[in-house]
Chains A and B, each alone.
Chain A
């Protein structure tokens, strides 16, 4: 019994890595293709596989879509010479990319991605670890990701990397406040006062069977989305990288697979951030506002996962779209926006919903 449990846990862990890595690599492909589309280019369209690429009609179409490109990208990172520059702090230099990726892999375990409805009408969430403190766990673990950036910037022993590292740390810590405060009204809404309260993500999705929380709480959703952009270091908030100012910022000195880990970590954070946003505000696996999903059995489970993935993909597209449209903020402007605009706004939002919920409660 003990042994099988262990096997299942290992299998789950491997599945997380495999699925998330695949998603990440195709998010990279999406980034390349969408940016090409936005900029009037073609994007990757040459990479092909010997057998599949030779299938008439389908092969060339897949090649043109760049479907095989992620494999080539991944292999490139693997086969490049893994240089460690002489002037770096060796241990921290190697530790940093690992620390950047681990939080992303860990948080994905608590995000519910679908449901299974039994014939009796009971609903089970599809999630690897159904924690009661779901959102707390996500906020806590994902904020560890900043260590990867700080340590990379510090260990590189390079002035540009150093600047990137300390920009990154300041930025991520500042925006975590706004992010946490924007999530609070959601759980105040979900948990009726006096009743049993939980920070469970599955419960949030179940309350959105009718109306999505993005409609009840647009400002919370907006603040959370902006904080998400900042937390994932995406343009217009890509201060730690800022390639035209700091060359590559914290990963200037990195190459080959170590850089690959940073690269994957960035996209993993985007995907997980999008998934959390979908769970909290966009109704999870419920098709549309007012159209709950209650299909029974395996088919229902597959449909729910499909809807969830589609919503996440749409949000990832928004991330890419914004990146290729907007210019970059200046570092002090990012901090001003975080502390002087988002934080007060999030507090006001929290107080407003606290009053609203209290008012509704006293009326009922």
Chain B
């Protein structure tokens, strides 16, 4: 083992030395873009070989934000891990919460009531809007259109104010629990959501007016970073990036979860798979999300917002704990032992803003997972970079990065 390790590092050194020699002979310029660079959105590092300004080789280096989330999950109960899911794709924490809760509930074979399902769909779609707002704004910022970024950011702040009222936090929401959500919707909140939707679409049109038919923007996005259908599937792309390449795959439609089958929405797909298509797909997805949000608000069912009969999984309401012996014991058991899960293995994917976020959970029973693996869409989406970047100019690399819309918190886990 030890010998092998030295060999690897020796090869690495050799590789670096040859590249340095290339550079000294004025063949190639090796440029390290990141981990701290304005347009690598976090701590992605790209090693670019440049011929003039043309990229001949691109090597993404990931792992600067690795925190060992998967290992951490083995040391805590299922509910305790919910706050860690906030920090995966930190632009859509609510969607991560929902995906995680659904994965664990699939393990427990637990059905949550209709109201809980509707709430989860609602918050997922709202967080999709907020994540896409950020993604589009950052893309425009990368291409130099700073005002669009500020416009989308303002809208995102409005959404976060709504999240704050719902969950108590703007950013790290930790809203779901295994078998339900942390608390019911506040009074009058749905009306505020509707109001937001009403004023949101005109702003979206404003942003679209600034970019979609802008000649400079078209020059920068059209035909840049083309990912073919085959490549998109082959590299395991998911989400808007896959749909931008013309593959009509959306987990919300293909294997509906949490009651997505009850709502009407379209899945936008691109035709060419370039940056512009990915941009358009995100734009349209926001409009479709607003459509879903409106339907959920209109048809929000009454009833319990957590699985009442799952006594070993969801802790009872506080007022009952204080007055009833049985509930007190139930609460004590869940807090100390964690929600009790059956033995088994389960994999669940949800259609998150960045793509399919999957949780693979191995349980040996009890309140703590034996092993957990997180399939992060950003990591897979980034893997296509070495294929797409060569032949681009530096400015195009920025455009491609922006249009792939990744989050390093999720990629590095």
Residues of A at the B interface (CB closer than 8 Å) are 35, 38-41, 159-160, 163, 235-236, 238, 242-247, 324-333
Cα A331 to Cα B397 with chains together (Å): 13
Cα A41 to Cα B191 with chains together (Å): 27
B151 CB within 8 Å of chain A: yes
Residues of B at the A interface (CB closer than 8 Å) are 29, 31, 37-39, 53, 140-147, 150-151, 154, 210-211, 214, 216-217, 219-220, 393-396, 398
| Residue in A39, A160, A244, A329 whose beta carbon sits within 8 Å of that of B151 in the complex | A39
| Residue in B31, B141, B210, B398 whose beta carbon sits within 8 Å of that of A325 in the complex | B210
CB distance from A297 to the nearest CB of B (A): 46
Closest B residue, CB atoms, query A36: B150
- Chain B hits for A39, CB < 8 A: 146-147, 150-151
Cα A38 to Cα B150 with chains together (Å): 10
Contact B216 A326 (CB under 8 A): yes
Known: A326-B214, A327-B140, A327-B214. 6 other contacts (CB 8 A): A244-B38, A244-B143, A247-B38, A327-B220, A328-B220, A328-B395
Closest A residue, CB atoms, query B210: A325
Contact A328 B143 (CB under 8 A): yes
Q: A39-B150, A244-B398, A245-B39 are in contact. Are A327 and B145 (CB under 8 A)?
A: yes
Contact A327 B395 (CB under 8 A): no
| Residue in A38, A236, A243, A332 whose beta carbon sits within 8 Å of that of B216 in the complex | A236
Closest A residue, CB atoms, query B395: A330
A-B contact count (CB 8 A): 76
Instruction: Identify 13 residue pairs between A and B in the complex whose beta-carbon atoms are under 8 Å apart, listed by A's number.
Output: A35-B146, A35-B147, A159-B29, A163-B53, A236-B144, A244-B38, A244-B143, A244-B144, A247-B37, A326-B144, A327-B217, A327-B220, A332-B53
Contact A327 B38 (CB under 8 A): no
Contact A330 B38 (CB under 8 A): no
Contact B396 A330 (CB under 8 A): yes
Contact B219 A38 (CB under 8 A): no
What are the 3 tightest A-B residue pairs by CB atom distance, in nearest-first order? A328-B144, A39-B150, A327-B145
Contact A327 B211 (CB under 8 A): yes
CB distance from B206 to the nearest CB of A (A): 11
- Chain A hits for B53, CB < 8 A: 163, 331-332
Contact B216 A328 (CB under 8 A): yes
| Residue in A40, A327, A333 whose beta carbon sits within 8 Å of that of B150 in the complex | A40
CB distance from B46 to the nearest CB of A (A): 12
- Chain B hits for A330, CB < 8 A: 219-220, 393, 395-396
- Chain A hits for B394, CB < 8 A: 163, 245-246
Contact A242 B211 (CB under 8 A): no
Contact A242 B31 (CB under 8 A): no
- Chain A hits for B37, CB < 8 A: 247
Q: A159-B31, A244-B141 are in contact. Are A324 and B147 (CB under 8 A)?
A: yes
- Chain A hits for B398, CB < 8 A: 244-245
Cα A39 to Cα B216 with chains together (Å): 20
- Chain B hits for A331, CB < 8 A: 53, 393, 395
CB distance from A234 to the nearest CB of B (A): 11
Contact A327 B143 (CB under 8 A): yes
CB distance from A169 to the nearest CB of B (A): 14
Contact A235 B219 (CB under 8 A): no
CB distance from B392 to the nearest CB of A (A): 10
Cα A39 to Cα B37 with chains together (Å): 24
| Residue in B39, B144, B150 whose beta carbon sits within 8 Å of that of A235 in the complex | B144
Q: A236-B216, A244-B39, A244-B398 are in contact. Are A326 and B145 (CB under 8 A)?
A: yes
Closest B residue, CB atoms, query A160: B31
CB distance from A189 to the nearest CB of B (A): 31
Contact A324 B219 (CB under 8 A): no
CB distance from B399 to the nearest CB of A (A): 8
- Chain A hits for B216, CB < 8 A: 236, 326-329
- Chain B hits for A327, CB < 8 A: 140, 143-145, 211, 214, 216-217, 220
- Chain A hits for B393, CB < 8 A: 330-332
Cα A160 to Cα B219 with chains together (Å): 23
Contact A238 B144 (CB under 8 A): yes
Contact B38 A243 (CB under 8 A): yes
CB distance from B203 to the nearest CB of A (A): 10
Contact A244 B219 (CB under 8 A): no
CB distance from B146 to the nearest CB of A (A): 6
- Chain B hits for A328, CB < 8 A: 143-145, 216, 220, 395
CB distance from B142 to the nearest CB of A (A): 5
Closest A residue, CB atoms, query B142: A244
| Residue in B150, B210, B214, B396 whose beta carbon sits within 8 Å of that of A41 in the complex | B150
- Chain A hits for B219, CB < 8 A: 329-330, 333
Cα A274 to Cα B141 with chains together (Å): 27
Cα A361 to Cα B398 with chains together (Å): 55
Cα A242 to Cα B144 with chains together (Å): 8
| Residue in B31, B154, B217, B395 whose beta carbon sits within 8 Å of that of A40 in the complex | B154
Cα A243 to Cα B146 with chains together (Å): 11
- Chain A hits for B147, CB < 8 A: 35, 38-39, 324-325
- Chain B hits for A245, CB < 8 A: 39, 394-395, 398
- Chain A hits for B141, CB < 8 A: 244
